[in-house]
Each structure stands twice: as structure tokens, then as C-alpha cells.
Chains A and B, each alone.
Chain A
């Protein structure tokens, strides 16, 4: 294989012995040539700049479209600032201790039979303080149902205001700002109760004005730190409650929020021995508090949410929603338990009595004699009322509060609903037990309503994105890339002028008339105007030369060949996945099925060479290759060129197809299952597997094997020269080895129970070295222009000075791939061991795809970028991701830093989540550059083709994004919208933005221009 292809690579011979002399001889050739060269280079520079501007404006247009749609779809609830003032009821307790144990799932707290199927000693039966015993009368354990999303910020809001969260809040989990609504803590503050707090600093962000200055918040989002917060809470409680000389008079309400169990869940998953340790620790702590409090003190322990089988939370699966609530008092007979069948703990408490989390708000208010917060929608828990009269009174107060809220907020606009509520209201005036029905009905109506959308913004977003899709199709696909090269100089001024004009118009109208209303403020108005300007500017230029008829004819024509149709079919099918929740759930399997099918199709192609209509693109590609007159080429090679499907090429192509299919199948075995996939999917991307010995061994094999694999691909064109051995053989190998050390330390920390050595500093050092090297040092090195060619002088005869350039055929591709390697090294660092194996397979898939489409001469076809796009999605799922919020691997945010620090934490999460997309967005240029010998195509042509390929990848992703926009709007009332469609649309939008940014800034602006300039300087003739 090598020998034959190497001949292909030795097409050019020059009279020189080294690069500088080549250059010199060229420069000295003649004045005329020199001038020609410089003017060509200058033209290229200008064109390149204009291209960046054009692609940049399209990127801005798409980002604006996504922003508008998100603004319309992800609504926030209208917050009322009214505050309740009256309290009608005598308090039962004067003091209160609240202990929030983050992620205290309900089944942690009940006794579980050791023979039970899903029994796990790591997290069951450790909290014996909650189990029924002789002291049961003083305590009350309830199943505590959270409202999704189950993230701590939303839960705290719900637990204190009694209201419902909206989806957008989940995104702002990281920057909670002071709560504006009436809430429990505010009521405590207004009623002169001193609130001491220790624990999760989300509380401090939400309630800081109402908490006592003695409170002690702790950094909460570093999930790798299991103990700091818990120890802080315990020492705070020691000071103020537990120890002999503690000052218990300073506070009326003492709140603690422990994070240990939640963090163990995030870091290791529930089935880990540290979970048992943390649970036993919390259990002992609760016992100490129980012993210490007096009769006037109410003690509440609760979980804010549960955790799923992987230990994460955020969604709305049963395990995430079911938390525990435990009330304890030393006063006798405070709780009126129902019949014992309500507290059935068998079957993990399947039948156990449950209350909503918001029900705690009126309950606690009534017990402490506070006014019920104004926005509350909850209902008091029956058990806290000891007599029937008391229950009636409680219900009455709450009913009045909810009624007040309804009247003031006027949330119910639907007349039938309003009538039904009126009816229930009058009924409940007669019989208060109907009151709970009123509350339930009102709650349901509110839940419906707060998913109300801003249709103007949604429509604007969809329209803008559709326009951007049309522009992308026309600019990068339909208009021949050569023509676009000339047209960019018309696009740019047109876009600039039209943006300015439309900004002036819209801002003027908006400022004077405040129309259109949905734009809200001048920022949105400017964005809207800019988007319109870009669209108009582009279309003016396009319609200056072409008309609709030509464009539609060209569109049909472009889809007339077999491979384009296959590609269009895959785009359509992928976009249609969002029409059903089942398809969206199974997207991971479907995408890998598509990619494997593509592999099979190319395999079929290489085996049978079916008759295909020749496309113009194919023809030009083949003609372009033929241009340089081959000097002294082997017979086989020339045959391979005249027919793209020589026997040898067919075998090679078949081999690459098989590599693609097999790698796809292997990597698709790595999956973190969606909760909805249920029994049909067994998760393999688990903490146990990630840190297991076999996985680490495989990682070590990857470290040893990946450089050799890449070397194999380079050797096809004998490009493994000069810079390539340094980059692949040294940089990549050692970075991977260092990276392996990092993850080995992580694994050891995870798996060895008695691990006491603190490797924090070492780990941070390693990770920063790897990230710094791969992102900064290696890229700066790449800017120096590492060539992968070598002069091979095989004539001993000194006079003739004949030299062969090894790696000539792939001089662009080989060098460009080094840049991909830089990013690849960085992405490897931010991925867990199993995902690293998957990324290794991705490298092979990627290079095989490049080889396949090179052999098939489909370098300009739609199929190339579409396959790349499919690869990105397939690898997204194979690196342990799903399009859901709990599946985001937040913990990799702490690879570079210990606490949240912009941009390092964000960099980690982006590199982890969008790693495959970034790699693909970079290497889509390789479709053009791989095996592209210099001096065949003009620099402008080359750049135009790269832009065209990049554009096709963008088209694919835009279609997906647009489809997810349309379908999430269509399914806005669907049961699963917040669980399935909405996260998918957010993922589609984000991945489009990431791809846009990478393509525009790195692929086109940074890499292509520099690479083409350098190679043309060298090989210009």
C-alpha cells in the first residue's frame, strides 16, 4: 500500500535541495513572476478577509435567530412582589431547626429488606434515625415530591415561596440572584426571627438580606469536594446548638444545608462506599440534634430532590423527584398519624404517603405562626393538625391565601377554568374539605399557564433561522464556489450598509413608537435590525446576479446525483427524528445506525462499482487531479488516476469502509442511557466502568496505539515526515501519557477505599500542563507552519540535483490535521476514560471517512460534510452524553480549577460536551485539503471549496436546529416537552453556535488562510 501510494506522492520534482532554496529559486525566477505572485497573494489575503466577514455575518445571523427563539420559548414566570402581612394563628413552636440534606432520596430513609432486588448496602438502611421505632409518635416521615427541574436553586425557590419554577431557571442555577417573591425566609425576617444559616451558598445568593450576618455559606458547586460544606455545617451547629456552651439564644431559626450526599452522587454515583460513609455521618449528626433540641423547637430534615441511578439530578424521573421530609418534635402528640397503611415502606415505599414540596410552605408557616407567603400554591400537610378543628382552620387560612393570590395575580384567563374554580370555591365555603380540590385544580391550571410562550419571538427566531438556512444553501452550495470568490467583495459592503440602514430604521421606529412591542428594549431591537440587515444585504447581492428560477433549478440539479440524494435523505431523516419523542429518545442508536449504513453504502460502492450518473463536481475533481503532468509515475498509479476505482483503490476503500463501520459499532456500545430508554438500555458509561482496571488498560493501549494509527494514515501519502513525527510521535504520545496519569490518579482515588494521599495539587498541575500545552503552546507551534514534507534526493548524480518531495500529495492535509491533533489532545483531557477510548475510535473513523471520500472523488459533495456531521453526533452520544440536562458532565468543569472560575470551568464543560463537534467542525476543511497536492488549485479556489464544505456542515446542523425549533414549538403542550424536546432544542441551538464559532474563527479565519498562504509561498510555480 505504502509503496504504491508513495509514488503518487512524488509527483513534483524541483531543482533544489532544501526548502529555502526552492523558495529562493522561485523568487529569483523573474520580476514578472514575482509581481504576479505577490499580486495573487494579496488578492488571496483580501478575499480571505472578506470570506471571514461573510461567514461571520451568517454566524451572527444564526446566533440572533437562536437568541430570539430561546427568548420566546424559555419564558420566566411573572413574579408578583406582594407580601403577605397577616397571620391568624397561634404558633405551635417558637423555634425551628431545618436541616436540608441535598439529594436525600426517599428510599435512603426507609428500612429496606436486604433481600429486595435493588437493595444496596451503600445507600439503604443507613439512616436508621428515620426508621419507625418506639419514639415514632414524635416524628413524621413523608415522601416529598419535588417539582421538576430538580436542581437545587429551583428547589430552594419552591421550598420557600411555595410556587412553581420555570424551565429557564434551570440554566441560571449558577447565578442565583436574590429572590424577589414573598417567601418563608422573608416572612421569618419580617416577624423578627433571627435566621442562622450554614451550608450551600445558594442560600446566601437567594436570601442574603434576610439571613443573620453570623451565617456561614460555603462554595457549593465543586462536586469533587465531599466534606468541606458538611464539616462547616456541623461545626456551625456545634457552635450554636450542640456543644455544652453553645449559644442557643442567638437564633430562632437555624438552617443547615449539607451537600455531601449529593456530591458523592455526582462524583461516584449512589452505589459507592463513600455514600455509606456520608449517610452514616449525617445520620449521627441528626441523632445529636434530636438529643439536643428542646420542646419548643421544631426539627425538620428534608431532601431538596433525589438522584437517578447515576447519581445525577435535574430532570423529572421518579428517582429524582422523590425526596424525604421528616418532622420531629419533643412535644408529645404533635403529629396526628393516619392509618398505618399510608406509611407502607415495602417495595421501596411505592405506596407511601406523599406530599408536594410546596406543601411545606403553608405547613411551616402555620406551625411557626407566620403569614403564608403570598405566592404559595401548596396545601398544609394533614398530619400537623392534631384536631379536626385545627385542620379546618389551617385549610381555611391557606384557602384564603390562595384565593387572594388568584384574585391579585389574575393568572386564570380561561373562562371555563375560572368558572370551575368559582364553583369549587363556593363549595369549599360550605365544606372546607373541598378546599384541597380547589388548590389542586388551581395548581394544575397554573402549571399549564406558566408554560406560556412568546409567539412573536418564537416566530421571529424560526423565520430568521429559515432565512439563514436559505442563505447558507445559496451561498455555500448553489452558487459555484468560484463565483462566490468574486462575489464576496460585493457581499461585504452590501451587508454592512444594509445592517446600518436597518439599524437606524428599526431603532428609530422603536424609540419613537415603541413598536414592535415584542422587542422589549433597544438591545433586542438592535439584534433584530442587524439580522434583517444581514438578510437583506445578502439577498440583494444574490438577486443582483441570479433569480429564483435559476436558484431552484440549481437546487434540483445539485440533488440529482446519487450521493447528494443519499446525503439529503440522511439530513431529512435526522431532522424528522424530532417529530416523535420515541425517536428523540433513541437518537443515539439511530445516529450510529445511519453512520454504519453510510459505511455499508460506501463498502457496496467499492465492491460493485454500480453505474452512477457522473456529477459535475465529480468531473471537475477528477479533471483537477489530472492537470499536473505526472513525471515518471508508476504504471499502477497512473491507472489509479484515470479510473478512480482501480483494483487497489477498491480494496483500500473497502478496508476504510469496514474500519468506519466497525469503529462506529464499537463506540456506540459506550452509552449513558437516558432514563426514558428504561430496560432496553444498559448503561456502560458508569463511574465503575470508567475507573475500572480494564478501562484504564484500554486507555493505555490507546496511548500506545493512537500515534501508530495516525502514522499509518499519514504514511498512505508518505506524509509522515518532518513535523509529523514530532507532533504525532512525540507531542501526542507524551500528552496522552500525561493525560493517562491524570485519569489514573482519579481512578485510584475513586476505587481505593483508604486513599488518603492528597493528590489535588498534582492533578491540577498535570491538567494545567496538558491544557496549556495543547491549547496554547501547540497552537502557537502550529502557527510557525510545521510542514510534513521531506526532500528525498535519490540521484547520486550531483549535477542533475533531482529531488523528490515526500508527502507532496498530502501537504495541505497532513499539516492541517496537526491542528486537529492539538484540539484533540485538549478534548481528551476533559473526557473520562471510556470516552477517551471512544475518541480514539473517532480519530480512525474521521480519517477513514476522509480516505473514502477522497477515493470516491466526492470531495465537494454534500455527502462528505453530512457524514462528518453524523460522526459528530454519534460520538457525542458515545462519549457518555445525552441531550438531557442531568447528563451534562458537570464534574469535568473542575479539572483545571478547584472552584468555579471563568473561563476555565466553562472551557472544561464545553470541551467535554461539544468535543466531537469541535473536532468535526475543524476537520471538515480536511475534506478539501486531505490528499490535495499543491499547485493544482489556485489559493482562492481552495479557500472557496473549504468554505463550501464548511457551509454544508452548517446547513446540516441548521436543518437539525430548525427542525428542533419547529417541533418543540409544535409539541409545546406535550407531556414530555420539558423532558425531551426542550433539552434537545437547547442542545441543537448550542451545538450550532459552537460549530459556527469554531468554523468561522478557527477553521476559516485562523487555519485555512494561514495554511494556504504558506503552502503557496513554498510551492508556487
Chain B
């Protein structure tokens, strides 16, 4: 979800309305994609599968003490950086070559992700989260969402906001959260139905699916 804030600043893709803006569109396409392959894309390999998210989920559901979001967040951040450095960045192609990880950008994108938690939290509240109560937990959820998007945030920074293809990763996380809301109203009285546990799980699943199939769509 935080992608919405980000994209607003620098998004360059205009309408793709084919009949009405044919001229424009061809201009736009130069940024995004050209017939012989997009300048920025993620390789279609199994190397981008974020296995650490599965591990984290397993820890969160089975091992952690009453679904401890805080510890999970502490574990998530380094693992996401590792994932970015070892898997995601290595498979991202910028204009026919793979760039090395720019270390200076990592803290910047970490900070950006942290700042993004505020608009993200706002969106969650607008979609119906309680306003005053459970604010801390809502923020934790927002933090999870944003740090799950960290590789995408980094890549957006890395190509100077010129590419829109990383949107889908944020969308995947948001959709994961959205779908997972389905269990909240059920009257099963399970402790995992407590706010925000199902949404955290949903976000992880969404991110897992997103990073896995992201290159293909």
C-alpha cells in the first residue's frame, strides 16, 4: 500500500488508453518497456523466491509466544536486507546489466520504509482499523507491510523512481492483507484472530507470492 505515496511523486506512466493517446503511449513505453525487452526488469528465476518469509511465518505461527509481532519485525528487517542483497538485487536487471548493491542506498531505503509506515497506517485506518485503540498494533502491521516491501523500495530508489514495475510488489502485499481480513469477523474465538495477526500473515503470504511470481507478470 505505501506504494501509493511513492508513486505519486515521480510516476511517469500516463494513460495507456490505446485509441485516444496512441502518440503519448509510444513515448511512455520507452521508459517502461520496449519490444525487445524492458530496460529494468526482474529475472524470471527461482532465485527470487523469498524462502525466508516462509521461515518467518513458520516462526510466527508455530514458535513465537502468542504471535509476537515485535520480535518478528526485528527478525524481518535483517532478513529482508539479506534477501535484497543476495537474491533480489542480483536478479534485477538495469539496462542489460546487474548492478551491485549500493550500500549507501540501503539505510536510505530503510528510512524511507520507516517513514512510509505513517501513510500506510493511515490507509489501514481509513479502511476500517480502529482509530484510537490498538494504534500501536496497527503501526506494527504497517511496519511489517513496509519492510516487506523493502527490496522494492530499494529498487525504486536505485532507478531514480523512473520505473513503475515495482508497484506490483506493494500491490501484492496490500492484496494479501485485504484478503486475510476475511477471518476477522468469524466467531471462532481463536487467539490468532486478534488484531493484527491475520493481516500480518496475509501480508507475508502476499509478499511471498508477489516476490515469487512478480517477474512473470
Contacts and interface: CB of A to CB of B under 8 A. Distances in A.
B186 interface: yes
Interface string A645-682: 10000000000000001100100110000000000000
B117 to A, nearest CB: 17
B17 A643 contact: yes
Interface string A579-614: 011110110011011001100100110011111101
A600 B125 CA distance: 12
B128 A645 contact: no
The binding surface of chain A is classed by DSSP as helix
A701 interface: no
B128 A589 contact: yes
Interface residues of A, number: 33
B39 interface: no
B128 A668 contact: yes
B7 interface: yes
A589 B185 contact: yes
Nearest to B183: A582
B178 A597 contact: yes
Contact of A586 (B17, B126, B185): B185
B13 A608 contact: yes
B29 to A, nearest CB: 10
Nearest to B18: A614
A609 B127 contact: no
A622 interface: yes
B11 A607 contact: yes
Nearest to A662: B126
A645 B11 contact: no
Interface string A390-421: 00000000000000000000000000000000
A689 interface: no
A662 B125 CA distance: 10
Contacts of A644: 15, 17, 20
Interface in A556-592: 580-583, 585-586, 589-590, 592
Interface in B86-144: 123, 125-128, 131
B129 to A, nearest CB: 10
A585 B185 contact: yes
B11 A622 contact: no
B4 interface: yes
Contacts of B19: 614, 619
Contact of B4 (A607, A609, A610, A642): A607
Interface in B165-217: 167, 178, 181, 185-187
Contacts of B7: 607-608
Contact of A596 (B11, B128, B185): B128
A643 B185 contact: no
A328 to B, nearest CB: 43
A214 B178 CA distance: 67
B38 interface: no
B16 A665 contact: no
Interface string B9-26: 001011111111100100
B170 to A, nearest CB: 10
A478 B120 CA distance: 40
Contacts of A580: 186
A880 B36 CA distance: 59
B8 interface: yes
Contacts of B24: 643
Contacts of A603: 4
B187 A622 contact: no
Contacts of B127: 593, 596-597, 600, 661, 665
B156 to A, nearest CB: 13
Nearest to B13: A609
Nearest to B24: A643
Contacts of A583: 185-186
A593 B187 contact: no
Contacts of A582: 185-187
A466 to B, nearest CB: 27
29 contacts: A581-B187, A582-B186, A583-B186, A586-B185, A589-B185, A590-B185, A592-B128, A593-B127, A596-B128, A597-B127, A600-B126, A600-B127, A603-B4, A604-B4, A607-B11, A608-B11, A608-B13, A610-B13, A612-B16, A614-B17, A614-B18, A614-B19, A643-B20, A643-B24, A645-B14, A645-B17, A661-B126, A662-B126, A665-B128
Interface of A: 580-583, 585-586, 589-590, 592-593, 596-597, 600, 603-604, 607-612, 614, 619, 622, 642-645, 661-662, 665, 668-669
A-B pairs with lowest CB-CB distance, top 3:
A586-B185, A611-B16, A645-B15
